[in-house]
Amino acid sequence: MFVVFKIEKRWILKEVRNIAIIAHVDHGKTTLIDQLLKQSNVFRKNQVVQEQFLDSNDLERERGITITSKNISIPYKDVKVNLIDTPGHSDFGGEVERVLKLADGVLLLVDSFEGPMPQTRFVLEKALQLHLKPIIVINKIDRPDNRPEEVLDEIYDLFIDLEANENQLDFPVAYASGKNGWAITDMDDERKDLIPLLDIIIDNIPKPIFEEGSSQMQVTTLDYNDYVGRIGVGRVFRGILNKKNPLSIIKRDGLTHGINIKQLFVFEGLERVEVDQVSAGDICAIVGVENVDIGDTIADSENPEPMPIIAIDEPTISMNFTVNTSPFHGKEGKYVTSRHLNDRLQKELQQNVALQVEDTGSPDTFKVSGRGILHLSILIETMRREGYELAIGSPKVIYKEIDGKKAEPIESLVVDVPSELAGKVIEIVGQKKGEMVKMEQKGSLTKLEFHIPSRGLMGLRNRILTATAGEGIMHHRFYQYEYFKGSIVQRQSGVLISMHTGASTAYAIDSLQDRGKFFIEPGDTVYQGQVVGEYNKDNDIEVHVQRGKKLSNMRSSGADKAIKITPAIIFTLEESLEYIKDDELVEVTPESIRIRKLYLDPNERKRYNQKK
């Protein structure tokens, strides 16, 4: 199988390999690709290159996770290796499923200590169903607590559990340190570079089969550019796609109409190189097709044959996005109106296919549904950085009806916890209607696996971290829909609500410390109806945090020095969303994340509570 493309008016023939890198979140995919790029001389010798080169936006770099898949290619021994970096987090699992259709093989990365994790199982299952050839890379071998032999046994168990065939079980194994840039096939080999891994890829991943016939390409991912609009990325499955030929697009609903491709790109290193045609087996990007969608087929106009439709994951969580109505609205953000909010959500729909936006009874409120809290919080965080102000309602799971009964999304939850604290975690998850399905030792840690309703995950991370003194590590992914499990007790404690608007004082906070824990520091400006802390009891109370000390002529030396205030609890965006109840909102601005009551006026709050 050859791809022909033109450089400096010379035709060069290259073989192609298409491989996707899949792994659990934080097992080192992007770091390994960084080293492959450096060692393949894709960069100039004097080029300054940042770490995690493919994690291109600030959010990906800060969180250390991949959010959107990226396509690059690496030249090696006259072979063009198309590498696809995929997200490791389950909220972006739909992206992984689609991207695997581009590949002929997968590089499965597994941490040399953690072993196979829930997302490892999920991505591997999808790859095996598509009959892709796996290559196993046991990464982070330089960890002092590595256990490669046990991890390899666990991987074999996982393959057998997923009913892999004999050909798939006969997988090559490499041991690597993506951070230090070396890979070996035997633990006694010299630890020099990543050439052994590239050799395994060339020798084991099959060449794409060149299918003769009329051209056929399927769009599997979308990119967006303000100047050219949507960019469709996909693989040519049959024939040769030539932008000058008459082409048609076949939509999901079967509608077909003619199109003109303005530009056609293939991936060369980190660049997109414009070409006139692409052969079957290679991955390309098309520009100039209006409203191109995931799953659309680009085919020859004379013989427009659709490809099998790609399933897009259904959302499991919804939240209401509302215009910010707090007394501080417009002070920190540039975009504050419902028109701004609606325009931004419609733009996001252009590239974020797992997202759904619906209008509600109010013109200022939009119901936004996504794959999970992380999926939606990434969108909120991005909007916040762009200068938007908005308020978010509490997350709600999306119910379905199966055989006339109410059904809800269930998640597979894995918690790694020190063995002596396992009992506490089992008790906490049990209160949230979680059922334990597996328990095993992993070094000094115990690995607990549960099936738990998505509702039960709200606020669970904080409780587990508190119970395990920060040592519990928690991962979850969507499992399936099951019949409704019954009511789950949400947050037990009430909140402290600010009685007035103004700057809080150390004197007032110090005198109120025995009432609960505070979310604000002395000097923070708060407004009436803002949640300033968590109350020790189960009801809400209003507190006067602006109260100053009454001064008199009497003084005692050192009396004011005795104030000792416990540091405030600072919530991240996800923690805030998980914390709030139905009568609360999270106010998000470019500079602040505040929790507030839905009704700021105490009389309105009383009326609302009486109606409940």
Whether the model pTM is above 0.85:
no
Please give the domain boundaries of the chain with CATH numbers for all domains.
2-204 (3.40.50.300), 216-300 (2.40.30.10), 400-483 (3.30.70.240), 495-550+561-611 (2.40.50.250)
State residue 496's pLDDT score: 92
* Chunked mean pLDDT (size 10), the chain, 612 residues: 38 67 75 79 49 51 59 81 74 69 86 79 80 88 85 87 83 86 83 85 83 83 77 86 86 82 82 84 84 83 82 81 90 89 87 83 89 84 90 89 87 86 89 88 83 85 81 79 82 87 90 90 91 89 87 64 80 86 90 91 86 73
Tell me the C-alpha to C-alpha distance, in Å, between residue 212 and each of 2, 240, 285, 298, 466: 13, 8, 21, 16, 61
In degrees, to the nearest 5, what angle opens at C-alpha 355 toward C-alphas 353 and 359? 130
Q: How do beta strands 495-498 and 516-518 pair?
A: unpaired
- H or E element, residue 605: helix 602-611
Beta bridge partners of 261: none
Residue listed under structure tokens 């400096």:
8
State residue 6's pLDDT score: 39
User: How far is 2 from 5, CA to CA, in rounded Å?
Assistant: 10
Q: Please report how many Cα atoms fall inside a 13 Å half-sphere around the Cα of residue 197, on the Cβ side.
A: 33
What is the 3-class SS of 146-208, one letter each residue? CCHHHHHHHHHHHHHHCCCCHHHHCCCEEEEECCCCEEECCCCCCCCCCHHHHHHHHHHCCCC
Q: Which residues contact 368 (CB under 8 A, 6 or more apart)?
A: 318, 319, 320, 321, 345, 355, 356, 357, 358, 376, 379
State residue 46's pLDDT score: 42
User: How far is 320 from 110, CA to CA, in rounded Å?
Assistant: 37
DSSP state of 433: T
Beta bridge partners of 230: 224
